[in-house]
Structure 1
């Protein structure tokens, strides 16, 4: 390979390492391939043997971490009911801190473990809170509100960790709460129910178009949220009321309109989500 091209590749790999686009051990391995026998001064050589040692060491540490987490979760799950309320809350918080900490710690070196930790923490936030509220006899309204609170936690963690599914799940939980609030009101007119969802749909489409260049992950999530809000009135009617011809016609018209708009503006919206 020509020296100039080799220098460009090495600079790019160093950029990947500093910005944590790739795990450090993979960057070391790539540098070892391109720097070896290149005669470039001031660049440390990393042997393949060292790479494999670190890789095997990572597997051992990950196995130990998994066993510790699995044992801790099993212990708390088996004895959770026998704890006092204060100890249940404290143990739940410690579990969440451990899982979220592990997720952020392994974010740049082991995506599978990081995503698993974030997923378990997100489920724990919802189910532990709902379990405690139900066990101690809180009103169903509190549990619905807690779903929205869990959604806010998912939105923040999904945005910070750049995990789209968790971020999107948070917005779905918030929309669920919004739909529940609408069901508590006296809105019976179909056009008014549609109107309650359309402004939010337009806002998220606008946010998706604005943020797609700065943060594609957030732009994709906002685009999907806008699509969900577009069909939320029909979903709301099918859950709350019986399915009738009006809902079917409305859903069919929206599907046709959506496909038509997506085809017309395909070059524009594909820039936001691809």
Structure 2
């Protein structure tokens, strides 16, 4: 089967999935079948001869990309900070663009390129802060906020839940830092009052997304579970403090979460997985 015909079939399968003309598991089976055939064909066609017969344009393009990467790596510290930020955003945008191209047919490749772009944004952003001597709490908070916003938007438009979740995690960190500045000596009960209502809101958004934006429901649910354990994580990791019997309190919250998930399993499983 040639590549053009295979691409047409994969696009048709994706149309069946979005239109719900076939069950999700059938679409996954057909998509995996044709992608496996494509991978086998690629392995058969990849050889030393195919590299030797490559066009001059392809070789020049590859050489240019590799040279550009090394040029940026060597001279990044000499660029003015606006150019450093522009380079970070440009490289990240290129990775996200490749991810958008890969997303309909090659989900693993799309996730890999999007993750690479996200890591590049964080690393180059931190490098810029260090080079410009901006490693202050405000500078770090700004970097976390920018990364969180870009990751959230990229995850939403690329339909990559893990990237969307990472964006929410950045917002959660900023939320915790802000509360730490306002109430640095907050007690354990106060921490519960500060975080647990947010967990309830996230689970409610999961229910709402199930009826409006179904693909966002698992993300909201995962964020809600994460926020459920944030009071203890906030005290141990961000405030470097603890209360007597912290281990027992953590176990108690795990038991409560398990009971709630078990009792409400017929509801949240539908929200997240159907």
Normalising by the smaller structure, the TM-score range is 0.7 to 0.9
- Bigger radius of gyration, 1 or 2? 1
Name the counterpart of 1:206. Answer: 204
Residue 99 (1) aligns with residue 98 (2)? no
Name the counterpart of 1:157. Answer: 154
Residue 235 (1) aligns with residue 262 (2)? no
Residues 53-108 of structure 1: CA deviation (Å, up to 9, x unaligned): 9x959x989x9888765554343223211323233233223212211211112221
Contact 1:20 1:108 (8 Å CA) reproduced:
no
The match for 2:107 among 101, 111, 131 is: 111
Residue 184 (1) aligns with residue 181 (2)? yes
RMSD: 3.6
Contact 2:151 2:163 (8 Å CA) reproduced:
yes
Deviating beyond 6 angstroms after TM superposition, the runs of 4 or more aligned structure 1 residues are 19-23, 63-68
Name the counterpart of 1:83. Answer: 79
TM-score normalised over the length of structure 1:
0.74
The structural deviation recorded for 1:231 is: 0.7
Residue 253 (1) aligns with residue 244 (2)? no
The match for 1:142 among 126, 139, 142 is: 139
The structural deviation recorded for 1:225 is: 0.4
d(CA) in 2 for partners of 1:160, 1:92: 20
Contact 2:207 2:217 (8 Å CA) reproduced:
yes
In structure 1, stretches of 5+ residues that fail to align are 1-11, 31-47
Name the counterpart of 1:175. Answer: 172
d(CA) in 1 for partners of 2:211, 2:192: 31
d(CA) in 2 for partners of 1:244, 1:105: 50
Q: Cα 1:87–1:149, aligned 2, differ >3 Å: closer, same or farther?
A: closer
TM-score normalised over the length of structure 2:
0.74
